[in-house]
Structure 1
Amino acid sequence: MGFCAASAVAALHFRSWCLLYRRIGLFSSLSSPKRDLGDRKLEPPHYPVLSVVSVLLSKSKQWMSLSDALCRVGRASCAAIASRIWALLAGRGTGSAAAEMSYGSSSIASGAKTATRTFDFGRTHVVRPKGRHLATVVWLHGLGDNGASWSQLLETLPLPNIKWICPTAPTRPVAIFGGFPSTSWFDVTDLSEDGPDDVEGLDASAAHVANLLSTEPADIKLGVGGFSMGAATALYSATSCAHGTYGNGKPYPVNLSSVVGLSGWLPCARSLKSKLEGSQDAARRASSLPIFLCHGKDVGIGEIKVRNTVPYRRFDVGSVRSLKSKLEGSQDAARRASSLPIFLCHGKGDEVVLYKHGERSAQVLKSNRFDNVTFKTYNGLGHYTVPGEMDDVCKFLTATLGLDGSHS
């Protein structure tokens, strides 16, 4: 089949698909002013037209399953996917605002291969501070979006002392889309805390965030935030920071000073509860256990003579140090959790990530020693953001990142 014929077939496929979804209101969120995030315009990443034509022809049998999946996700996420597909066919790029990032060594670096999967992250977009650099915040986009779109919105915020880093998630098959590839921080089957957890994908994305922040100067305060799935990834980073390790047990390398989540949910809620409860139980048992020790002055260091027995029974001093580090680690985790400021926002009209999931996530965090969680409700707000919500985010970041007395 020649290029012209292939293009024609692809165009017919896309036109039929667009007509179908226009009837069910797929593009309403693109045309509605209240869903337009102010003046922000979505700028999809660049892909060659020939690649898109090839995908459309080879994946034609998957359109019906994709259609069902898109309907389940909701109009807002569908709009992001539709915007990307339209841009793919039009051959649009990301513009000149993108900045290529270099990555230092970390437990899971950009493009690294884990035991079973490889994660290739997209382009990272940076918004430089307009004033004196006091803080750096990594902001994570939602499912099907990219870093460029949010960088344009963040650049307009009245926060001149913050450097914004907006990475793009890997493009991977997503279960909730019936296996259709999309930018996604982790695989997901259900947009709530009740779905199965892709810990490997979450660890890779959280490590990517930490990797971006690890190169910042020591006197710069660090934060992470996001929207929808980006908010879920930000919260996973927050719990990893508090516990001191990723889900795979490797140490989390940076200290976060502020966390923001818009229209998101808490992944790995069940494992978080068991981890923190285990730490609390260990500290509680240690503090309440009565122990009576007797020791003779003539006994050498590191050995205890048990009466009427030969030889000496020795104890390992190293095991004492290990016990101390474990108990101190439990106390440190509880202390980090209780002091980490987290700001969660959710609209009651959200039909993609339901309001009850956002509310439940805040409750789980608070019940697990995250004492500095603020959950704010917005009546009538759907799965998008509005200026009033972003104003609240600005106030929170100003307070938690020490920007109150800053001078531009």
Structure 2
Amino acid sequence: MNRAAAALSTSANGSKGALIFLHGLGDSPAGWSELQRSLPQMKPRLKDITYVFPPAPTIGITINGGMQMPGWFDLFDWPIGVGSKDDREGLDKAVAQIESEVEKLGEAGIPPSKIVVGGFSQGGAIALLTCYRGQETFAGCAGLSAWLTLPGDLDVSDNAKQIPLFWGHGKMDDKVLFAQQAFGVEKLRSQGVSVVDKAYNMGHSSHPEEMEYLAEFVDKAIFGDAKSEL
């Protein structure tokens, strides 16, 4: 799919928070922009936040023979299991792109403490890395069918330990293997991160119950106390 030329977002004027949500490999911002309509239907307060759907750059993907497609970083192993090789340079560039989006929101008056960073698959991997390797305290992190990259480098700061995480994953995922959830959750919990992990009867996709919980999570993270209520 061709990526959108620019991120989709609402105006930050008067916004009470923000959700930055990253799409997966080969997708575009339009692939998940439905969240801007569906989440407020489940939790009405979410109509008052800013939605940002950044576009991944178009890069060559090794597992696809070097084919150019929207991707946050290169992939060397398929399926993506525990121990898969990481593209450190690509990961760093992707995190820098998301940090730039956070800066733009800050300039519009939305601090990190009111921003949830989330994503699906590759996008979820970048959301996790952005939240738990930095020094900011975001309102929350949501990883859907995601995985923990650079696990050997994991050293969660005191600020990042305060970021609650929702990790949803399909039990029959044959692309980002289900074992990645248990591995990543254990690693993060061992460093003091509060994690809600939920498994669904699905493959590498989304589930209606997962979307309902995502809405609840984002709502409480931005407007309530996700750390104690979830």
TM > 0.5: yes
The Cα shift of 1:377 comes to 1.2
The Cα shift of 1:152 comes to 2.8
Equivalent residue in structure 2 for 1:401, among 214, 217, 222? 222
- Post-superposition CA distance 1:13-51 (Å, at most 9, x none): xxxxxxxxxxxxxxxxxxxxxxxxxxxxxxx437xxxxx
Residue type matched to 1:210 in 2?
E
TM-score w.r.t. length of structure 1: 0.49
| Residue 73 (structure 2) pairs with residue 186 (structure 1) | yes
> Quick check: 2:147–2:181 contact (8 Å CA) kept in 1?
yes
CA distance in 2, matches of 1:359, 1:255: 24
Equivalent residue in structure 2 for 1:384, among 193, 197, 205? 205
User: Runs (4+) of structure 1 moved beyond 6 Å?
Assistant: none
Aligned residue number for residue 224 of structure 1: 117
Equivalent residue in structure 1 for 2:7, among 121, 124, 134? 124
Equivalent residue in structure 1 for 2:175, among 352, 368, 386? 352
TM-score w.r.t. length of structure 2: 0.85
Aligned residue number for residue 375 of structure 1: 197
Equivalent residue in structure 1 for 2:85, among 196, 201, 216? 196
The structure richer in helix per residue is 1
Of structures 1 and 2, the one with the larger relative CO (CA 8 A, separation 6+) is 2
Residue type matched to 2:97 in 1?
H
Aligned residue number for residue 256 of structure 1: 138
The structure richer in strand per residue is 2
CA distance in 1, matches of 2:160, 2:31: 31
SS of equivalent residue, structure 2 residue 39? coil
| Residue 57 (structure 2) pairs with residue 170 (structure 1) | yes
* Aligned residues with identical type, % of pairs: 32
CA distance in 1, matches of 2:24, 2:81: 14
> Quick check: 2:7–2:52 contact (8 Å CA) kept in 1?
yes
CA distance in 2, matches of 1:132, 1:389: 29
Gaps in structure 1 of 5+ consecutive residues = 1-43, 47-93, 95-121, 245-253, 277-332
> Quick check: 1:259–1:343 contact (8 Å CA) kept in 2?
yes
Aligned residue number for residue 43 of structure 2: none
Greater C-alpha Rg = 1
RMSD (Å) for aligned C-alpha atoms: 2.1
Aligned positions, number: 214
> Quick check: 2:124–2:147 contact (8 Å CA) kept in 1?
yes
Gaps in structure 2 of 5+ consecutive residues = 41-45, 226-230
CA distance in 2, matches of 1:156, 1:135: 17
> Quick check: 2:82–2:179 contact (8 Å CA) kept in 1?
no
Residue type matched to 1:183 in 2?
P
Larger mean Cα displacement after TM superposition, 148-157 or 336-345:
148-157
The Cα shift of 1:403 comes to 5.4
SS of equivalent residue, structure 2 residue 75? coil
